[in-house]
Amino acid sequence: MIRSTPPQSVRDLQRGFSLVELLVVIGILAVLIGLLMPVLSTARSAARRTQCLSNLRNMQIAHWNYVVDNKGYIIQAGLAHAGLDANEPAAWIVTLQKYYGQSLLHRCPSDISVHWFGGLPVPPTMPPDAQWRRTSYGINNYLSLLVAPPSIRPYRKIEQVRNPAVVIHFVEMTYTGDFAGADHPHVENWGSGPGVPTSAAANLQIAAHGNRPIGFEAVANYGFLDGHAESRRFRDVYRSPTINNFDPRYAR
C-alpha cells in the first residue's frame, strides 16, 4: 500500500509550537498588555470624572427647581463634622431629594472613602453615636446661613449673589478625617501661602480626579451656582482669602 505524505503546511500544524515560540508569543502579549493598561486606566478615570460631573449637574438642576419653588431661597448645610451637633432636617441631601426623579446621586464613582455605612465610623465618633459618610459632596459654606463665616452677611437668596456663574456651590468632600461625614467645608480657615492646599485637603478631596494628592495642581470637580459644573485645578478656584471662587464678595 502506498502511503501519502501530508503537505508541508499540514506537517507544521501537526508539529505545534516549540517552547521558544510559545515564550515569544507570551512576551509579545505581555508587552501589549503593558502598553494598554495605562490607556485603560486613563479611560476609566475619565469615565469616573465624567459621571461625577453628571452628578453635580443633576444636583444643580435639582437646586434650581428648589430655588423656584422656595421663592429664591437656596439650600443649606446640616450634616455635622468632628462630632458637632447637626441640623439634619435642614441639610441639602434631605431638602433636595424630592426634586429628583430618582434617588439622589450622592456618591462620586471615584469615592473610595472607608466611612460609608458598613465601614469605619467618621472620627472622632464611635458607636452607638457613630457618624457615617452620607454623600461625596458638600456645598460652599459661604452660601449656607448656619455655617457661613461670621464676618460676612449671610446669603439666603439666589439674587443676593452678584455673579452666580463664577461662585462655587457644590464641592467634593474629603475621603478621610473629621470632614468625611460633613456636607460643607470651612473655606475661611484655609488662609494663604504654600500651605493652603494642605488646609483645604482637610475639608475637600482636592485631587479626586487627578494630579498630586495635595498641591495647587490637584484636580477635582466643582458645581457652580448658575448650574454648570467643571473639572478645575485647585489653583484655579482658590489662591487666597480674597482671590477665590468661594467667597461671593471676591469671586470673578
Q: Is the pLDDT of residue 10 over 90?
A: no
Cα 240 to its chain centre, rounded Å, is: 22
Q: Does residue 149 belong to any structural domain of this protein? A: yes
The Cα 8–Cα 157 span in angstroms is 85
pLDDT greater at residue 5 or residue 169: 169
Question: Would residue 20 count as lying in a domain?
Answer: no
Q: If pLDDT is split at 50, 70 and 90, which confidence band does 4 have?
A: low
Whether 206 is in a domain gets the answer: yes
Q: Which residues contact 210 (CB under 8 A, 6 or more apart)?
A: 45, 49, 218, 219, 231
As for how many domains the chain has, the answer is 1
Q: Which residue has the cell 468625611?
A: 180
Give the domain range for residue 168.
Answer: 49-244
Q: What's the chain's length in residues?
A: 252
Distance, CA of 11 to CA of 15 (rounded, Å) = 6
239 domain-assigned: yes
DSSP state of 157: B
Q: What is the pLDDT of residues 210-238, one digit of tens each?
A: 877 789 999 999 999 999 999 999 999 99
pLDDT tens digit sequence for 157-202: 999 999 999 999 999 999 999 999 999 999 999 999 999 999 999 9
Helix, strand or coil, per DSSP, at residue 129 = coil
Q: 3: helix, coil or strand?
A: coil
Burial of 244 (0-12, 13-18, 19+ CB in 10 A): buried
Q: Is the pLDDT of residue 104 over 60?
A: no
The whole-number pLDDT of residue 119 equals: 93
Residue 36 to residue 42: CA distance in whole angstroms: 10
Name the β-bridge partners of 172.
137
In a domain, 116, yes or no: yes
| Helix/strand number for the chain, H first, E second | 5, 6
Between 153 and 12, whose confidence is greater? 153
Does residue 101 sit within a domain? yes
pLDDT higher for 187 or 152? 187
Write down the residue that cell numbers 500500500 correspond to.
1
Instruction: Give the Cα separation of 38 and 128 in Å (integer).
Output: 44
Residues 6+ apart with CB under 8 A from 77: 90, 91, 92, 138, 139, 141, 144, 146, 147, 182, 183, 184
User: If residue 58 lies in a helix (H) or strand (E), which one and from where to where?
Assistant: helix 19-69
Distance of alpha carbon 121 from alpha carbon 109, whole angstroms: 20
- pLDDT value of position 24: 74
- Residue 43 is assigned to a structural domain of this protein: no
- 74 lies in a domain? yes
CA angle at 243 for the pair 242 and 244, rounded to the nearest 5°? 110
